[in-house]
Every structure is written in structure tokens, then in C-alpha cells.
Structure 1
Amino acid sequence: MNYETLTYDLTDGVALITLNRPDVMNALTTQMRAEIEVAVTHVGKTARVVVLTGAGRAFCSGQDLGDRANAANLDLERTLRDEYTPMLNAIVDCPVPTIAAVNGAAAGAGANLALACDVVIASEKAYFLQAFTRIGLIPDAGGTYVMPRTMGMAKAMGAALFADKITARQADDWGMIWEAVADDGFDAHWRARATHLANGPTKAYAAAKRVIRGSWANDFEGQLAAEAAEQGDCGQSRDFREGVLAFVEKRKPDFEGR
């Protein structure tokens, strides 16, 4: 597929998807949402890790309020159901780890696009902003689901109601993201993290994703059963055998994701 709103590169198992509308801070349009869904679905079949980042000074500024595809017949329920939900599900259900490398502003739906990824690594110059109440809306794109589960009810409620900027360092301290990284080392850092995952036991990563995300719907007994089932499957994998052998032989394991 020829992408018009993003760029795509696959190198050494790392699929890099870059939102590429820097003139409007990578604001989301109907076309961009469709392209993100297609790109993530496609690369999830061949890559070992997927990285989502933004071109220019922003990660993503959220919905493009000037998007002509939606301007003529603005129906936010339809847009969320038919355009945002498939895109976000593609990210959440991706069979390999997903990283949001947040290089700058992540606002509105752009913030929640990042939070849909498995791991969020942010530059210290970045910030997160649930800007919705500034225009009379509520947080969407999964924000009301993810935020209470990562940063707690009090912080999630304040972020939604006050629509204050949350710095990358605050987001890190609150448990909203995995880590905030110094600006000058940001690019090298997230690339090293992505390479680490690309060289890892991706079959086990996929199982871990399923169990951790599924835990929100389980009681303790149900979660123990889910762990046992997934662990039993991982225990039959080539990567488990290789990992044990590498440990015994005191060498680095050669994982293949199977």
C-alpha cells in the first residue's frame, strides 16, 4: 500500500510507522486512521516489534478539526465507532509488542493513541494533554479506559476535567507511561529498546500481552487459570528450550519467536 499520511520502514524486525503530517502536528484524519490500521495490521504479520512515532515536533495533536472527510457531516459517535475503534483495536491486538515513541506533543486522541500501545517511551520535551473539555467533549479513543488503570482514578479524573498538560516526567512518575528519556538520547534509547524486543521471545511477548490485558476482566482465580494456560503453551515453545539451554551454557539466547 502507498501511504500518504505516514511513512513505514521495516529493518531487522523493527517496523517503524511515522505519522507524517508535521505541518499540522500529525493531526488525525479519516485517511490517517485508516492507514494506521492497515499498517499495524500488515506489519504485525512480519515484524517482531512495531514502533509508532511522529514526524517533526509533535507525536500527534489529536483529531484534525478541519478534516474535510468529517466536516460536512460531523457525527462523533460514528467516527469513533467506525474509524477510531478499528485503528485502536489493531494496535491493542497486534501480535507483537508495540511501542509509542512520543517525541513531542501528544494531545487529545493523539495522547490516547500513544497510550493504546504496549509501551510508551517519551522524550522529556513531550507532554500529554486530554484536551477534550476545552471544546466541550469528553476524553475518548480509549482514554477513559486506560487512564484510570495506569495513573489511578484521582489523576485520571483531574486530567479529564482540568485538561492540564502532563509533562513526560509527570507521566512517568504517575505510572501513566513506561519511561521519560532525556531529549538528546531519546532516539537512540527507543531504538535500543525496540531492538531488544525484536531480538526477544516474541511468542512469549504475545502471551504476556494477552494475559496482562485480559487481567482487567478476570478475578484472581480466572487470572491464575489464564496464566497456567499461556505458560503451558510457552513451555512447549522452541524459545523456552533455547532460553534454558542458553542459561545452562552461559550464553546469549537466540530467540526466533516460535
Structure 2
Amino acid sequence: MESNSGAPVTVERDGAVAVVTLNRPEKRNALTVELKEALLAALEEVAADDSVRAVVLAGSGKSFCVGQDLSEHVESLRGNASTSFDTVERHYNPIVRSIATMPKPVVGAINGGAVGAGLGFALACDLRVAADTATFATAFAAIGLTADSGLSASLVHSLGAARATELLLLGESFDAAQAQASGLVRAVVPADRVVDTARELAARLAAGPTLAYAEIKKAVALGAVSSLDTVLEGEAAGQARLGVTRDHREAVEAFLEKRR
């Protein structure tokens, strides 16, 4: 297990599980360039590490992530507004792609507020566990912006176009119980249990068929945006790839022999 408590992002390894934590608790994990670059590097590191079979994404302190650090953003606007949004292509988009396409499961430990890009990062995770005190909001319209971090897609896929439009236009917040009722989070637990619960879920996934999980992530992403024919072709190709793996062969043999 390793960490650097003074870093903007920490990485801890516990067996086959890596816990990536945003670490600006005094600023509610608001996103500066430094934090975004550190988060992207950490995600790429654990994605490439074959000893890591599942990942937890968490926030330190009482918030998960409240989105862009607006103090840094306003300085950028005052300097050169035409380049202020380069961060979307340089940071936000690669971070969301890394979480969503990582060939291993990612569990979001939503310990507190998940706002703006923080909500986008949370919804890019494959599964989510939330604190009973957690709140969620889009917040973009309130500052005269449209969404980033994939929220235009992830909210629609999770909640439907009508509810996604409502949340983006009105910016109204919702709580952990509402998030669970709508299927956005798997479980709601006391705040001091969020990371441990997410670790337990990640450990369960780490003990499972990682190659199959990677193909499932691809199939679900394809299914969300593609025609039936494309989905069927993708499923067939995924099963063909998995069919020649030791994981599949051993699992079938174990099933027939009535053993794990």
C-alpha cells in the first residue's frame, strides 16, 4: 500500500485494488490544473498496471469533487478567455475516457458533494457507493455553461433525456436517497463507511473475471449508442475473444465439476 498525503491525488494499493483519491479536502477537491493532471496520470498508471484488477475513485474530506476551481478559472478568463476551455480537451475528456474505458472495474466512493465535473467523474465509474450525506448537482447553467465530462451522455443513459434535461437546465441538487432510487448508486451508507464499502466491492470484483468485465464495459458502452445490429456484432466479437481465454475454459470446467 502506498500514498503521498501531500500530493493533489494519492494512490494506495491494497492487494489487487487501487484507491485513487482526490486530495484537496480544504477546497472540497475543486479541480485545478495541477489536480487534473495528477488525476489523469494516476488513472493511466493504475489502468496500465496488470497487478491492479479493480479501482476505487474517492475524494478526501467531506466532498467527492465540486468541479472546476472557479478561482483558477476566473484568472484564466481574465488572462485569455479564448484558451480558458482548452482544459476540457486536455484534462476533462481524457479523465472521463480513462475511467469509462479502463479494462477493469472502477467503483466510485461518493463521500460527499459531487458537482459539475465531479458528477461527471462519478457517473463515468462503473458502480457507485454514496454517503448518506452526499449531494449531486450539475451546476453548469448557473455559470452560463453547458455540460462537460460526459454528463450530456451519462445523465441521459442513466436517467433518460427528460430528467437529464431537467437537471442540466435547472441545476437542482438531489440527495443520496434519490440517487439510489433512480439507480445512480448501488448503496447508501454512513459517510465513514463509504470508502471501506467501495473497497469491499472492488475486492469482490478484483477476484472475478477481469477480461470478461472489460468486454462487458465495451458492450454496455456500445449498446448505449448503437443500433441493434451493431450491438449484436459487438457482443459476438466480445464472446469470441473471451472464448479462447483460460478464464472462460476454467470457469466452464468448474461449473461442470460443481466447484468454484
Is TM (by shorter chain) over 0.5? yes
Relative to structure 2, which stretch is displaced further, 194-203 or 122-131? 122-131
- For normalisation by structure 2, the TM-score amounts to 0.90
How far off is 1:146 after superposition?
0.8
Q: Which residue is equivalent to 2:121?
A: 113
Counterpart contact for 1:5–1:19, Cα < 8 Å: yes
Length, aligned pairs only: 252
In structure 1, the gaps of 5 or more residues are: 253-258
Provide TM-score, normalisation by structure 1: 0.91
What is the rounded CA distance, in whole Å, between the counterparts of 2:225 and 2:164 in structure 1? 20
In the alignment, which residue of structure 1 is the partner of 2:149?
141
Distance 1:160 1:211, change over 3 A: same
TM alignment of 1:169-248, pairs within 5 A = 169-183=177-191, 185-248=193-256
Structure 1 range deviating more: 66-75 or 205-214: 66-75
* 119-128 vs 242-251, which moves further: 242-251
Cα RMSD (Å) of the superposition?
A: 2.0
2:71 maps to amino acid: G
1:35 corresponds to: 38
Partner of 1:59: 64
Structure 1 contact 58–104 (Cα < 8 Å) conserved = yes
Unaligned runs of 5+ in 2: none
> Aligned residue for 2:158?
150
| Secondary structure of residue in 1 paired with 2:108 | strand
Contact 1:22 1:58 in 2 (8 A): yes
Partner of 1:83: 91
- Paired with 2:223 and 2:206, the residues of 1 have a C-alpha distance of 25
Corresponding letter in the other structure for 1:225: E
SS at match of 2:48: coil
The answer to whether 1:70 aligns with 2:76 is: yes
Counterparts of 1:92 and 1:191, CA distance in 2: 18
Distance 1:158 1:79 in 2: 26
Paired residue for 2:47? 44
Residue pair 2:54, 2:104 contacting (<8 A) in 1 also: yes
CA shift for structure 1 position 189: 2.0
Q: Distance in 1 between matches of 2:256 and 2:196?
A: 32
Matched-pair contact (CA < 8 Å) for 1:171–1:177: yes
Could you tell me the percent identity over the aligned residues? 37
